[in-house]
Structure 1
Amino acid sequence: MAKVRCQRIGCDAMFSEDDNPDGSCTYHDAGPIFHDGMKEWSCCKKRSHDFSLFLEIPGCKTGKHTTEKPVLAKAAAAPKLPVSAPTTTTNLSSKDTCSRCRQGFFCSDHGSQARELNPKTSNASGDALGGLQAAQPPPAKKIIDINHPQICKNKGCGRTFKERDNHDTACSYHPGPAVFHDRMRGWKCCDIHVKEFDEFMSIPPCAKGWHNADPLP
C-alpha cells in the first residue's frame, strides 16, 4: 500500500495501513503554551525558548499512526501579570537576560535586532584575536553518501531525502523565523499569522530551495 503521512502533532512519519502496529507513533496529545518567549508542551511540560528545538521535543504519548487530523486539547493560557511601563533600562536588562537574545536568535519579544555576540574590541586586541583565528586549521569537510537517507532540517519541511535527488527546488520551506506575539502565531517571511497552533503548522511553505540536513543556525 502507498505510504501516507501521519497527522499527529510531533510525529510526521510516513506509514501504510498494513504496517501500523500499536506503539509505532510517538506524539503530543495536547497543545502548546507560548508565554514570555517560552514554548511549552502542555501535555508533558517540556519547554524551550528556541522554536526549532521546541518542535524537536519528542512526543510523550504512543499509539498508532493516523491520517485524521487530531483535535488538540486547549491549553490554558498563562495568566497575565500587571507590568509597569517599559523603560530603556528595563528593556536592555530583559534583552541581556533573555536566553534567545543572548544566543543571537531572532526574538519577537525584544525586536528583530539581536545583540552582538562578539562586540567590537580595540585594534590591539582585535589584531591579536585575528591572529589566533588565522592560526587555527580550517574545519574538516563533511563527507556525505549521496544514497544515504537524511532528514531535511529546513523550517516547514522535515522530509527524508537523498543527496543524489537534491536540487534547487526540491525543498519547500520557510526561510524566515517563526513569530509569536499577542497569542498570534505566524512566519515573518510570508507575513501570515493565525490564532490556533494547528493552523500555524498548516501554513504552506513560501520558498523553494535545496534540502539541508545540517542548516546554518
Structure 2
Amino acid sequence: MEKGGAVRCQRIGCDAMFTEDSNIDGSCRYHDSGPIFHDGMKEWSCCKQRSHDFSLFLAIPGCKTGKHTTEKPVTKIVPANPRKPVPLPSAAQNKKPDDSCSRCRQGFFCSDHGSQGRPSKPIVITANKDDHVEKSAVPPVKKIVDLNEPQICRNKGCGKTFKEKENHETACEYHPGPAIFHDRMRGWKCCDIHVKEFDEFMNIPPCTKGWHNADAA
C-alpha cells in the first residue's frame, strides 16, 4: 500500500477507506464468519445478528474489531441447519421493543424484540421568562452537519468517508437496489447482475452515481 494513499478495507462489514497512518488497532469493525440465509432470514453466523431485510442485514455493525486490511478474506455462506428452526416474525410480535437494542430504538425491524420498534417522538421544552413550561411533540429536526466533518456514506455499495463540502451529484457510486436472492443466486435488480457466491455479490461494481448520504434509508 502506497503510504498516504487511501484504500478500501476488504473485511466484510467494514468497507471503509483508510490510510496506513490511520490504520490503528480497533479502527476496523467487521464480521469474521459468513452469512446464513434460510427461509427469508439473513443472519451473521459469527454474532447471530439477523434481519429479514437485506439492507438492514448489511447495516448490522461488525462484531469483531482490529486493523483494516487490503487482503480479501475468504468468507463463505454458512449452510443453515434444517433441524434448527428459525424464529418467524409472528412469534416475536408479542415481545416488546427493548430500549437497550439500537435497532428497536431506531424503529427498524428486530426479530429478537418484536416486528417493529417504537417510533421516537422528540419532546421539546419551551419556556419564556414569565410563562409556564410546556411540552410538545414535534417532528424530528434534520441533523446539522459541519461541512468539514468526516461522514461515512451509507448508500449500498459505497461506504466511503466524505465531507459535505466535497459532496456533489456524482460523488457517490452505489446500488439503488433492491438486492435479489432467488434459487441460490444473488444480485441487484438495479443493474440485473446475478452471481452464485456471496463474495462475488459483494464485489459487484456499483451501477449508479449520485450524492453521498450518511443517513440512507
Q: What band does the TM-score fall into relative to the shorter chain? A: 0.5 to 0.7
Specify the alignment match of 1:62 in structure 2: 65
Name 1:200's counterpart in structure 2. Answer: 201
User: Displacement, 1:193?
Assistant: 0.8
Partner of 1:16: 19
For these two proteins, the number of residue pairs brought into alignment is 170
Q: Unpaired segments of 5 or more residues in structure 1?
A: 81-93, 106-135
Q: Which residue matches 1:32?
A: 35
Matches within 5 A, 1:126-205: 140=141, 142-205=143-206
Aligned residue in 1 for 2:75:
72
Given the two structures, how large is their TM-score scaled by the length of structure 1?
A: 0.66
Aligned runs of 1:78-97 on 2, under 5 Å?
Answer: 78-79=81-82
Greater fraction of residues in helix: 1
SS at match of 1:164: helix
Q: Of the candidates 34, 46, 59, which is equivalent to residue 49 of structure 2?
A: 46
Deviations along 1:159-208, one digit per CA (max 9) or x if unpaired, are 11112111111111111211111221111111111111111110001111
Shift of 1:19: 4.8
Task: Identify the residue that residue 212 of structure 1 maps to in structure 2.
Answer: 213
> Where does the alignment leave 5 or more consecutive residues of structure 2 unmatched?
94-106, 110-136
Structure 2-normalised TM-score?
0.66
Shift in Å at residue 11 of structure 1? 1.8
Question: SS of the counterpart of 1:199?
Answer: helix
Range that drifts further, 71-80 or 145-154: 71-80
Q: CA RMSD in A?
A: 3.1
Give percent identity, aligned residues only: 76
